[in-house]
Amino acid sequence: MSVLDMSLNVCALLPGLQVWLENAFYTVNRIDAASPREKGAGRILLASEIAHATHRDILIDLRDGAPLYQPAASGMPARVAFALEDMGLAMALIAELARPTGMPAVGDVGSAKLMRLATRMARSDATVLVQGDTGTGKEGMARFLHAHSNRSDKDFIAVNCAALPETMMEAMLFGHRKGSFTGAAAASDGLFLAADGGTLFLDEIAELPLALQAKLLRALQEGEILPVGATHPVPVNVRVIAACNRDLAAECELGRFRNDLYWRLNVMPLELCPLAQRRNDIAAIAAALLLRQHKQMGQLGATDAFPWPTPAAIDKLVAHNWPGNARELGNVLQRAMVLREGDRIEADDLHITGAAPVRTESTPPVRLQEVARMSKMDAIRLALRETDGHRALAARKLGISERTLRYRLAEMRELAAA
């Protein structure tokens, strides 16, 4: 979990931002803008606190008018300016600007809980099996596990087993000796040895033929491989992370996957939910994708302003079921960035195909404005819980007046009674 410093003035102005950041897998420290800082540390400050800012900081400017994002440049910090109606995406954007490289974009409570579990798993050398639908971020999770392990200074090798030619799978994974088969003019170490000391990510593991599954099992159990054409095994020190978009237990029952290999891989299981089941991640992933695309377009010479989606566009994104998960979301946003006519991405710019989301009484559509409002409520509930219901202390903790707190509580009671 990353630690993020945020000024007391930002906390007072945007009490819901801390809740959002905590759901985005941050630990937030409240600091005075003028206080000494650790070398290289970044902070979230108000635009009025620019005198205390460095180029690593993010300046917040809550004001009326069109939203604005200015990347850090020429020694100046990044700046995010927005009105209340754009607060939902603004909070996601702030979280993504502060996010370290290799940290998946999340904004949902359940996703943050999964990331905490993954952090503990990363410290172990045990094999991890990541399962989830296509586009749920299995490779991103594997890279996170590697980056937070004691193997992070070694190589991370990713291979899609479905993309390997079946006749060459064994040689590509385990290596081969010169002349071991037709066309083997030189020896090759293979992917296991390429990842020696580091991590080997085997995506679409269910695509491995049964014969190769037996050889993979031996490599995992014995810590050694037998290259094609070799007579003596070669020791390897590799952590394997496997991934599959099918239910491997069901594949075992159908006889398409070895039971013994399944249990050897399933030491540390991680299940990634579809995007439709973690709606608060949609804004986080959208912000990350838009930032990446905007940066790439800037590197190609484009000077367009950041294509900030309108509240209606965000509502449309959050309401969709995303059968293609983050991959589909990325495609929709990329098209919208290219084809939009105005400075902002409008709802009509989002060409979303497929069936409309199915909604029931228990699963109402989520609007991002509601997410922002609920974040404020969560912050108030948390402060009251931590102060045993003492309103004056809770108000001080939130950085607001006791009168404002009473007003917010009255709003909450009205909503509860509605």
pTM comes to 0.77
The 10s digit of each residue's pLDDT in 237-270 is 999 999 998 889 999 998 999 999 999 999 999 9
Kindly state the average pLDDT of the residues 75-86.
Answer: 93
* Position 42 pLDDT exceeds 50: yes
Would residue 205 count as lying in a domain?
A: yes
CA distances 220 to 100, 248, 260, 288, Å, are 32, 18, 11, 36
* Position 393 pLDDT exceeds 80: no
Would residue 301 count as lying in a domain?
A: no
Residue at a domain's end among 53, 76, 101: 101
CA distances 215 to 32, 211, 390, Å, are 58, 7, 63
- Are 16 and 154 in a shared domain? no
Would residue 93 count as lying in a domain?
A: yes
Would residue 337 count as lying in a domain?
A: no
Chain centre distance of CA 416:
33
Would residue 378 count as lying in a domain?
A: yes
Residue at a domain's end among 275, 304, 333: 275
> How would residue 146 be classed by pLDDT, with cut points 50, 70 and 90?
very high
Strand 68-70 relative to strand 78-82: parallel, antiparallel, unpaired?
antiparallel
- Are 123 and 267 in a shared domain? yes
> How would residue 355 be classed by pLDDT, with cut points 50, 70 and 90?
very low
- Are 202 and 80 in a shared domain? no
- Are 9 and 62 in a shared domain? yes
Kindly state the average pLDDT of the residues 41-59.
Answer: 93
Instruction: Identify which has the larger pLDDT, 43 or 387.
Output: 43
Give, in degrees to the nearest 5, the angle at Cα 239 between 172 and 186. Answer: 25
- Are 11 and 89 in a shared domain? yes
Residue at a domain's end among 221, 245, 275: 275
- Are 133 and 194 in a shared domain? yes
Q: Which tokens sit at 189? A: 């170490």
- Are 202 and 225 in a shared domain? yes
The 10s digit of each residue's pLDDT in 190-215 is 889 899 999 999 999 999 989 899 99
The pLDDT of residue 410 is: 72
- Are 57 and 169 in a shared domain? no
* Position 371 pLDDT exceeds 60: no
> How would residue 296 be classed by pLDDT, with cut points 50, 70 and 90?
confident
Would residue 289 count as lying in a domain?
A: no
- Are 64 and 157 in a shared domain? no
| CATH code, domain with 113 | 3.40.50.300
- Are 220 and 239 in a shared domain? yes
| CATH code, domain with 17 | 3.40.50
Domain that holds residue 79: 1-101
- Are 38 and 184 in a shared domain? no
> How would residue 151 be classed by pLDDT, with cut points 50, 70 and 90?
very high
| CATH code, domain with 378 | 1.10.10
- Are 113 and 97 in a shared domain? no
Would residue 343 count as lying in a domain?
A: no
The percentage of residues in the chain with a pLDDT greater than 70, rounded to a whole number, is 89
> How would residue 181 be classed by pLDDT, with cut points 50, 70 and 90?
low
How many folded domains does the chain comprise?
Answer: 3
The pLDDT of residue 360 is: 41
